[in-house]
Structure 1
Amino acid sequence: MRELISSPVFSIMLSLVAFEAGSIIYKRIKFPLFNPVIIAIVVVMFVIKSLNISVDTYNKGGDIISFFLSPATVILAVPLYKKMKLLKKNLLPIMSGIIAGSLAGIFSTVFLCRLFHISKQLTLSMIPKSVTVPISMSVSKQIGGIPAITIFSTMLGAIIVIVICPLIFKIFKIKDSISKGVALGTSANALGTSKAMEMGETEGAMSSLSIGLAGIVVVIFSPIIVKLFGNFIK
């Protein structure tokens, strides 16, 4: 029995079953806090704690899932291709929104970490939190952050965004599909895109575009901002 638990197959099946259970619960309840990812995280943590499974043992299968994470994002290009005419027509405002949103995410993180006296290494770990996990991890390593903290902050930030985004859209009376998609993709990566696709095809297409472009902005500007504002980050 212990050999089965220690195998990568167990970790993979646990992750898949936990996420599928979360998806079923979310479809029935339709409440943002019951997002499939949140439920899957809780279930996996409970199981590995109950069975006394080490993180290293779980990661034997988790690393295999992570390996396919980057290639899987390629499929996000499909809805974007369908909306190519819309993209060309609104290219300037879309690009401006993505760049502004990405930079706002970086600067707000630096400012708030300084305000609450967060250590420099934790600040560096959270700077790339708005982009998808493979990119945020890479940037975090480059600028001296802790990848594990980056993953946590990326997931937590995305979950917070998808929970409060309906309220934000309602308060500020945001009804434009492009604006919603760009906002979700830029601030909440793949989780935001899954939420955008629930709203509509246009929202999903714009959100998937935003993931890639926001990643590029963060990759380019994060090291520059860290270098220029290094004395501010303490």
Structure 2
Amino acid sequence: MSGTLTAALQAILDHPLFGFGITLGAYQLALALFERTRWVFLQPVLLSMGLVVGVLLLCGIDYAKYRASVNMLSVFLGPATVALAVPLFLNLRRIRQLLWPVLLTLALAGSLATALGIGFAWLFGADHVMQMTVLPKSVTSPIAMLIAEQLGGIAALAAVFVLIVGVIGAICGPGLLTRIGVHSPAARGMALGITAHAVGTAQALQEGEETGAFSALAMSLMGGATAILLPLVVALVA
């Protein structure tokens, strides 16, 4: 009986969709806990990541095997990103009304977020490679990794910085914005999208459709502007 149970358990662990299942299950559990408690440290991305890591360690599954079992999730990344166009379309009139404030906010806040990142890296004695790795921290991982590699940084480490910034922004951003009196959905969305990219946008969508729309807009514009302008600025400065 024990041998049969062990074999059944091993069959489950070896199933190609095991990683897929625990990833979705962990996120749904984390999301349910966050919505019930609204405790900032139960931020769904952070908590689900910890749950998945715990399950993998408990079951003795290495990262290569887990990555192979969640390849299907990558297929949905494209449609999920395109789906962000839905709140943008539904709030298109509002976006048009605030077009110039949006562009001005993007220019000033985006530049400040980027400058602060490399400024703190320099202040704490980081070398050139690490500075170039930190520089694109405020955009989504695929863009940040490409920019970091182009500038001479470490692409994999850039993705880690992006994740850290996104999670911290999603945890601390809404409460901080409320405390300093920022209640406009458009302003809150822009702040979360510029500083916390995709994770911040997920948080913004939980606040409301308009907040999510402006966060998605800010994330997209920030990513495009950074990918085009940042290498040019670094080349001119160097």
TM-score by length of 1: 0.89
Which whole-Å CA distance do the structure 2 matches of 1:64 and 1:115 have between them? 42
- Who is 1:85 aligned against? 93
- Who is 2:214 aligned against? 206
Q: Return the letter of the residue paired with 2:195.
A: S
Judged with a 3 Å threshold, the aligned counterparts in structure 2 of structure 1 residues 152 and 67 are, in CA distance, closer, same or farther, namely farther
Shift of 1:212: 0.9
Judged with a 3 Å threshold, the aligned counterparts in structure 2 of structure 1 residues 148 and 66 are, in CA distance, closer, same or farther, namely farther
Judged with a 3 Å threshold, the aligned counterparts in structure 2 of structure 1 residues 171 and 29 are, in CA distance, closer, same or farther, namely closer
Greater RCO, 1 or 2 (C-alpha within 8 Å, sep 6+): 1
Alignment match of 1:132 (pick from 133, 136, 140) = 140
Q: Are 1:130 and 1:186, in contact at CA under 8 Å, matched by a contact in 2?
A: yes
- Who is 2:170 aligned against? 162
Which whole-Å CA distance do the structure 2 matches of 1:62 and 1:108 have between them? 35
Judged with a 3 Å threshold, the aligned counterparts in structure 2 of structure 1 residues 161 and 88 are, in CA distance, closer, same or farther, namely same
Q: Which runs of 5+ in 1 are unaligned?
A: none
- Percent of aligned pairs sharing the same letter: 27
Shift of 1:80: 1.0
Q: Are 2:148 and 2:154, in contact at CA under 8 Å, matched by a contact in 1?
A: yes
Which whole-Å CA distance do the structure 2 matches of 1:8 and 1:228 have between them? 49
Judged with a 3 Å threshold, the aligned counterparts in structure 2 of structure 1 residues 154 and 63 are, in CA distance, closer, same or farther, namely farther
Q: Which runs of 5+ in 2 are unaligned?
A: 1-8
TM-score by length of 2: 0.88
Q: Are 1:128 and 1:140, in contact at CA under 8 Å, matched by a contact in 2?
A: yes
Q: Return the letter of the residue paired with 1:19.
A: Y
Judged with a 3 Å threshold, the aligned counterparts in structure 2 of structure 1 residues 8 and 221 are, in CA distance, closer, same or farther, namely farther
Alignment match of 1:56 (pick from 52, 64, 77) = 64
Shift of 1:138: 2.5
Between 159-168 and 208-217, report the one with greater CA deviation. 159-168
Residue deviations 1:152-198 (CA, integer Å, cap 9, x gap): 21111111112222332233211222111111111111221122122
Shift of 1:75: 0.7
* CA RMSD, 1 decimal: 1.9
Shift of 1:106: 1.6
Matches within 5 A, 1:1-234: 2=10, 4-230=12-238
Q: Are 1:80 and 1:209, in contact at CA under 8 Å, matched by a contact in 2?
A: yes
Q: Return the letter of the residue paired with 1:141.
A: E
Q: Return the letter of the residue paired with 1:158.
A: G
Which whole-Å CA distance do the structure 2 matches of 1:211 and 1:176 have between them? 18
The secondary structure found in structure 2 opposite 1:68 is helix
The secondary structure found in structure 1 opposite 2:181 is coil
Judged with a 3 Å threshold, the aligned counterparts in structure 2 of structure 1 residues 225 and 64 are, in CA distance, closer, same or farther, namely farther
Shift of 1:117: 1.3
Residue deviations 1:119-154 (CA, integer Å, cap 9, x gap): 332322222221122222232232233232122211
Shift of 1:54: 1.7
How many residues align? The count is 230
Shift of 1:4: 4.9
Which whole-Å CA distance do the structure 2 matches of 1:196 and 1:170 have between them? 13
Shift of 1:2: 4.9
Judged with a 3 Å threshold, the aligned counterparts in structure 2 of structure 1 residues 26 and 61 are, in CA distance, closer, same or farther, namely same
